[in-house]
């Protein structure tokens, strides 16, 4: 599994800028960050990749610990954190989250597009709640079983390629966190069929370069959101609190 992610991050280029409030790719995560993450919060980002969200958080005044299994991703993240002059606010760790020992407590844990890769997702969520302060929140996201492209079998090869062990329904995702002792604050079903296509196909990746520009991205997102009630969501976001 680790080799898969090293290949994925093998040709990563330096990030030229820190993402903004209207970023097309991370707009759902940014929405929840603005709602639940506060100035000087301590944030743990599980599966941080090359640190894109971490730089955004650090710029907002947070202190971050980013963990990822890929050494290539962490090396790229560390280099960019220095370039952005944010390395005093971010600590990056190369480690499998299920095995890393972290002797800190956090206000917020971000676990975006991670749990679907883990065989022991229940143990991972139990570890997350132990790392939060009382009243701390987790912001999590994972791919949905109701994704239109998944339901017609188009994403079977994609899921295998990227290492997905499972997908979730809204009910199963909520239950995963509730059984660990969390109080679920909200669940948001996001990403319609068109937006999903942009992120999972080579053709979509080419289109994304054009459509990932404001204000075009706003129009695309608006139209894509209209498809969710009719055809189903491709992604599920959840926010839960440690009681």
Does any domain span residue 95? yes
Does any domain span residue 142? yes
pLDDT for res 154: 93
Tokens in use for 44? 């743990």
Question: How many angstroms separate the most distant Cα atoms in the chain?
Answer: 47
Other CB atoms within 10 Å distance of the CB of residue 145: 17
Does any domain span residue 201? no
Q: Helices marked H in 84-215 — which ranges? A: 121-131, 148-151, 156-162, 170-179, 193-200, 202-211
Helix (H) or strand (E) holding 187: strand 182-190
Does any domain span residue 69? yes
CATH of the domain at 88: 3.40.50.150
The pTM is what? 0.94
Does any domain span residue 227? no
Does any domain span residue 158? no
Structural domain span for residue 182: 2-147+165-192+234-242
Block means of pLDDT (10 residues each) for the chain, length 243 residues?
A: 62 86 92 97 97 97 97 95 96 94 96 96 97 98 97 94 95 98 97 92 79 81 93 97 96
Tokens in use for 139? 């912001």
Burial class (CB in 10 A: 0-12, 13-18, 19+), 136: buried
pLDDT for res 1: 59
Task: Report how many domains make up the chain.
Answer: 1
Does any domain span residue 204? no
pLDDT for res 117: 95
pLDDT for res 201: 86
Does any domain span residue 116? yes
The SS3 call for residue 115 is helix
Tokens in use for 8? 């994925």
């Amino acid at each position: 599994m680790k080799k898969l992610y090293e290949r994925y991050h093998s040709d990563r280029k330096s990030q030229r800028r820190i993402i903004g409030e209207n970023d097309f790719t991370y707009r759902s995560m940014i929405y929840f960050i603005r709602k639940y993450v506060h100035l000087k919060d301590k944030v743990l980002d599980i599966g941080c990749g090359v640190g894109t969200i971490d730089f955004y958080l650090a710029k907002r005044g947070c202190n971050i610990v980013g963990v990822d299994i890929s050494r290539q991703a962490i090396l790229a993240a560390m280099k960019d954190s220095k370039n952005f002059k944010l390395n005093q606010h971010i600590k990056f760790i190369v480690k499998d989250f299920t095995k890393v020992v972290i002797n800190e407590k956090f206000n917020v844990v971000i676990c975006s597009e991670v749990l679907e890769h883990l065989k022991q997702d229940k143990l991972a969520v139990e570890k997350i709640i132990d790392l939060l302060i009382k009243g701390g929140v987790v912001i999590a996201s994972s791919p949905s079983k109701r994704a239109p492209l998944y339901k017609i079998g188009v994403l079977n090869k994609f899921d295998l390629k990227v290492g997905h062990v499972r997908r979730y329904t809204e009910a199963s995702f909520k239950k995963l966190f509730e059984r660990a002792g969390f109080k679920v604050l909200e669940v948001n079903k996001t990403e319609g069929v068109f937006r999903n296509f942009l992120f999972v196909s080579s053709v979509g990746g080419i289109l994304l370069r054009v459509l990932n520009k404001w204000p075009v991205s706003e129009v695309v997102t608006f139209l894509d959101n209209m498809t969710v009630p009719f055809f189903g969501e491709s992604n599920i976001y959840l926010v839960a609190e440690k009681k």
